[in-house]
Amino acid sequence: MEIPFTQEEICDAIIDTIKENNLKGCYIRPITYRGYGELGVNPLNCPVNTTIAVWKWGAYIGEEEMEQGANIGISTWRKPAPGTFPVLAKAAANYMNSQLANLEAGEHGYDEAIQLDYHGHVAEGSGENIFIVENGKLITPDLGSSILKGITRDSVMTIAKDLGYEVSEETISRERLYLADEVFFTGSAAEVTPIRAIDNRQIDIGSRGPVTKELQEKYFDAVYGRSEDIHNWLTYVE
């Protein structure tokens, strides 16, 4: 789809929308989609529309879970294989797979789901990327594991490297989740959310670990402007 606006125009519109709604903190969702034209599998005769939504949104998985850690279950719904559709795209159609996993997790009493890829390796959460900590090293699934290349994932990797942590992208087997020293989610909504248990198996001490806590604090320092913006990440509304 050819987006009918420049990146600068969309950024300006986001800022204007936040101002117009007098929001001091919010989630931002710009979305480009095929609007009304005709019904059918071929969308090319439908116009390309862009909408920007902003709203107040607290901790995605829960305020308590941000400190104590979330209880997660491995989903039976796996991520799609290569050649099905582009999993690297942040496309609304891709989220049906995520919805199924998230609904299943809720039905089983979990806060959220972890999905495996078509090989049975760890992929991501229903709406989050995932990291494990082993012996002080951060490890996250590589792009071949049917994951979304998240912006928050990239930001946390950058922060970790700034702090001197070794960061690796690689294939992660399911059992490594259970044996990890720490596990946490990252995402625009989830931000940095620790995981205390997976499939009712306690992860190490069963609460937020020291590496996750440090990364969480540094991440919030960055997004709230409490630290120097050395990576030029911030856009000022006022």
Count CA atoms within 13 Å of residue 180 on its CB side.
32
**CA dist., res. 103 & res. 86, Å (int):** 23
- 3-class state of residue 167 by DSSP: strand
CA distance 26 to 130: 23
Note the pLDDT of residue 85. 87
Q: Residue-wise pLDDT tens for the chain (238 aa)?
A: 899 899 999 999 999 999 999 999 899 999 999 999 899 999 999 999 999 999 998 888 888 888 899 999 999 999 999 889 898 898 999 999 999 999 999 999 999 999 999 999 999 999 999 999 999 999 999 999 999 999 999 999 999 999 999 999 999 999 999 999 999 999 999 999 999 999 999 999 999 999 999 999 999 999 999 999 999 999 989 7
Gap between the Cα atoms of 99 and 114, Å rounded: 12
pLDDT reported for residue 43: 93
Question: Bridge-partner residues for 202, per DSSP?
Answer: 197
Q: Which long-range contacts (CB under 8 A, 24 or more apart) does 59-63 make?
A: 59/191, 59/193, 60/127, 60/187, 60/189, 60/190, 60/191, 60/193, 61/111, 61/112, 61/185, 61/190, 61/193, 62/111
Please tell me which residue in 56, 90, 137, 161 is annotated as part of the active site. Answer: 90
Angle among Cα 87, 118, 91 to the nearest 5 degrees reads 15
Specify whether 137 is catalytic: no
Q: Are 112 and 129 in contact (CB under 8 A)?
A: no
